[in-house]
Chains A and B, each alone.
Chain A
Amino acid sequence: MSKVKSIKDIPLQEYLMPGHAACAGCAMALAVRHVLKILGRNTTVTVPACCLSVIQGIFPKTAVDVPLKNTAFASAAAMASGIKAGYRVQGKNVNVIAIAGDGGTYDIGIQALSGAVERNEDIIYLVYDNQAYMNTGIQRSGATPYGAWTTTTPKGKTEKRKDLGFIMIANGARYVATVTPSYLMDFYSKFQKAKERKGSRVVIDLSPCPPGWRYDPGFTIEIGKLAVQTGAWILWEFEDGVFQFTGFSKMIAEGKAKKKPVESYLKLQGRFKEIIKSKEKIEYYQELINENWEKYLKIAEIYKKK
């Protein structure tokens, strides 16, 4: 596939069938649709328990038009490593991708992922980060941000979220990137690169979720954009020891654009209703974002191109 630089370059071939069971406006379904367009027919997917394992649909039908193996919650990266090894002994060169939720990655699947990355298994690992255990009814995860309502944090989460990207860099990953499908060209650029590379490739996708984040499904794309424009989500790529901001985040890092106040991102989502109530909490949230940016500017400095 030649490089996708504009929407008109997006291939027409589809591998996610219509009539799948995702909620209306699901950003994960959108990401899966495009990832499969990029990887193409010669791909095998493995999925642990998560919304994706449900949106595939009900036996005897599946919405995914490439081979897909469901696996246990903790084992997406281990399963992907095994599938790849199986193809290798058969002399077949197939793209193997694990697609998992944040619960199955930041929490439950992290040891399998850490091991696979340490062994530099030849797999792509996509985590769609909808920031909670959505499929079982919106319970908090290690990826749920500070202040967010979930059914297990009725007053808003009191802890900060884990930083999986940072963990993966420390884990020795050769390729790590963050994406969100609102910025589709950035999404294509990173997955097209990931497809061409060998070894472990970890992609962390911010995945807005209308029922879990409490917003009207029509705002999915706008919320993803606001996450980046306010700096609540940072777009970056870490490749063979070199860290780079990308897209709008790069403009923020270079001082060419200013972060929007985080309130514009928070107020669209019912899950932040506790934060929105108080000026101090909004300010604290803004501080957390600024702190995170300071950290990432330092990471960029340490891993800059020599």
Chain B
Amino acid sequence: MRKVEVDKEMGLKSVKEYPPAPLSKPAEGAGGKTGLWRTYRPVVDLNKCTGCRICWAYCPDRAIKLRDDGKVEVDYVWCKGCLICFHECPVKAIDKVVEEFGE
């Protein structure tokens, strides 16, 4: 990351304000916009989803969100497209499609 971006992100105005040791703050996207890594996109069929939460529990990326109606949806900002959810859904409510960003 370029120095000027770091300065901006931490709200630092001068070198004197730098912490004595590298101190990172918790944030989303510490590894970048990981949704851009996808080659496949998991797609939930809400008509089939039973709300069992298996996909939610097994997603290493917290990219499955619990909906108010008890079913789930994918957070495409962070989903890396590993397809664990696609393989583990017991009722095959998740399909995979080739990712075409921006469509």
Given A57-B24, A221-B87, the answer on whether A17 and B58 have CB atoms closer than 8 Å is no
B61 and A219 form a contact (CB under 8 A): no
CA of A217 to CA of B38 in the docked complex: distance in angstroms?
A: 12
Partner of B26 from the list A21, A63, A181, A219 (CB cut-off 8 Å) is A63
Cβ of A118 to closest chain B Cβ, rounded Å: 31
Partner of A217 from the list B23, B52, B63, B82 (CB cut-off 8 Å) is B82
Cβ of B78: which chain A residues have Cβ within 8 Å of it?
18-19
Cβ of B44 to closest chain A Cβ, rounded Å: 15
Cβ of B71: which chain A residues have Cβ within 8 Å of it?
none
Cβ of B30: which chain A residues have Cβ within 8 Å of it?
17, 19-21, 56-58, 61-63
Cβ of B50 to closest chain A Cβ, rounded Å: 12
CA of A222 to CA of B85 in the docked complex: distance in angstroms?
A: 11
Chain A: which residue is nearest B75 at the CB level? A18
Given A57-B30, A57-B31, the answer on whether A218 and B86 have CB atoms closer than 8 Å is yes
A25 and B53 form a contact (CB under 8 A): no
The B contact surface, by secondary structure, is loop
Cβ of A300 to closest chain B Cβ, rounded Å: 30
A29 and B60 form a contact (CB under 8 A): yes
Q: Which of A7-15, A191-199, A277-285 contacts B (4 or more CB under 8 A)?
A: A7-15
Cβ of B102 to closest chain A Cβ, rounded Å: 19
B62 and A18 form a contact (CB under 8 A): yes
A217 and B66 form a contact (CB under 8 A): no
Cβ of A19: which chain B residues have Cβ within 8 Å of it?
28-34, 61, 77-78
A25 and B82 form a contact (CB under 8 A): yes
How many pairs of A and B residues are in contact by the CB < 8 Å rule? 130
B26 and A22 form a contact (CB under 8 A): no
A60 and B31 form a contact (CB under 8 A): no
**Which residues of A from 44 to 79 have beta carbons under 8 Å from B?**
55-65
B31 and A22 form a contact (CB under 8 A): yes
Given A217-B84, A218-B82, A221-B87, the answer on whether A62 and B75 have CB atoms closer than 8 Å is no
CA of A22 to CA of B34 in the docked complex: distance in angstroms?
A: 10
Cβ of A55 to closest chain B Cβ, rounded Å: 7
CA of A24 to CA of B34 in the docked complex: distance in angstroms?
A: 9
Number of chain A residues whose Cβ lies closer than 8 Å to a Cβ of chain B: 41
Given A7-B57, A60-B25, A218-B86, the answer on whether A14 and B32 have CB atoms closer than 8 Å is no
Partner of B28 from the list A17, A181, A219 (CB cut-off 8 Å) is A17
Partner of A65 from the list B23, B26, B32, B77 (CB cut-off 8 Å) is B26
B 13-55 to A, binary, CB cutoff 8 A, 1 in contact else 0? 0000000001111111111111001000000000000001110
B99 proximal to A (CB < 8 A):
no
Cβ of B91 to closest chain A Cβ, rounded Å: 14
B63 and A221 form a contact (CB under 8 A): no
- Lowest 8 A-B CB distances belong to which pairs? A57-B30, A21-B31, A218-B83, A19-B29, A25-B82, A24-B82, A24-B80, A62-B24
**Which residues of A does B touch, CB under 8 Å?**
7-8, 10, 12, 14, 16-27, 29-30, 33, 55-65, 181, 184, 210, 216-222
Given A7-B52, A18-B62, 16 additional A-B pairs, CB 8 A? A7-B56, A10-B53, A14-B62, A16-B62, A18-B77, A19-B78, A22-B61, A23-B80, A24-B37, A30-B60, A57-B30, A60-B24, A62-B26, A210-B82, A217-B80, A218-B82
- 11 A-B residue contacts at CB 8 Å? A7-B52, A12-B66, A17-B26, A17-B30, A18-B34, A22-B31, A24-B80, A60-B23, A61-B26, A62-B30, A181-B58
